[in-house]
Structure 1
């Protein structure tokens, strides 16, 4: 298993000998390192995907599942990824195992009632992808 690189200033890279962190480990490590998060190469099977703005790739069918690791692919990276995959990433990657290099961070998600925060919230663990090279389908 890859040791967390929380103090590292640069993002990790996917190399042939890269070791990876699975979603459950990523969630635990990000929570323990909050708010700074943990750097690494994360391995997951894309169980669900959505695109309301950025592209969201989830390790669980229900993105609210506390065990879920969400890969947030920013629009420019999603466009490059679509070109590389010759199709929409949410369709091409669903059911496939991927490696993602980056930082897993715990993100607070507020419940909204009548357009305002209700005071209730939960946490998700996100890896933000700004460069399509951070994602490697297996």
Structure 2
């Protein structure tokens, strides 16, 4: 009897351990469906090194620029693990500036946007004097190469 009870308990533990957790589902509205920054980060991490295609919804809380690229961030601190970064190429930045009448860093600050593309987990290496230190962290980026990938909600 004890053996049967032990077998039943172990079987239940194994079956429970094998249960799958469904992937997060996108949120939706009357315009269609989109993926939140938190879901984008989780889905990109699960799919790494591949990306996750979709339409991503975020409020632009911070912006930046480096090397001609413009960055639109879902969090105030771009290093925040909850941050989704939209990396806008120089060409797409020019297209957006023409469409919006001002630079996207200004025009999109505080705005709710939808971005179509692929969320990719991106390794960011810490450097010292231009050399990698061996320390790194991950960000999740959606690359925009055409202004039509971004719409304002």
Task: Give the TM-score normalised by the residue count of structure 2.
Answer: 0.79
Residue in structure 2 matching 1:73, options 48, 73, 88: 88
Which has the bigger relative contact order, CA under 8 A and spacing at least 6?
1
How far the C-alpha of 1:83 sits from its partner, in A, is 0.5
Distance in 2, Cα, partners of 1:78 & 1:51: 10
What is the CA–CA distance in structure 1 between the aligned matches of 2:73 and 2:102, rounded to whole Å? 18
Structure 2: gaps of 5 or more residues:
1-24
Consecutive unaligned residues of structure 1, counting only runs of 5 or more, are 4-15
Of 47, 54, 60, the match for 1:46? 60
Q: Which has the larger radius of gyration?
A: 2
Distance in structure 2 (CA, Å) of the matches to 1:38 and 1:50? 24
From 39, 42, 47, give the equivalent of 1:28: 42
> Which residue does 1:9 correspond to in 2?
none
2:113 maps to 1:113: no
Question: Post-superposition, which runs of at least 4 consecutive aligned residues in structure 1 deviate over 6 A?
Answer: none
For 2:97 and 2:131, the matched residues in 1 are separated by 35
Query: 1:98 matched to which residue of 2?
Result: 113
Q: Retained in 2: the 8 A contact 1:2–1:40? A: no
Q: Tell me, in whole angstroms, the C-alpha distance in 2 between the residues paired with 1:77 and 1:18.
A: 24
Q: How far off is 1:37 after superposition?
A: 1.2
When you count helix as a share of all residues, which structure comes out higher? 2
Contact 1:18 1:41 survives alignment (8 Å): no
Where 1:136 maps in the other structure, the secondary structure is: strand
- Aligned counterparts of 1:24 and 1:102: Cα–Cα separation in 2: 16
Give the TM-score of the pair, scaled to structure 1: 0.88
1:61 corresponds to: 76
CA RMSD of aligned residues (A): 1.3
Q: How does 1:114-133 map to 2 (within 5 A)?
A: 114-133=129-148
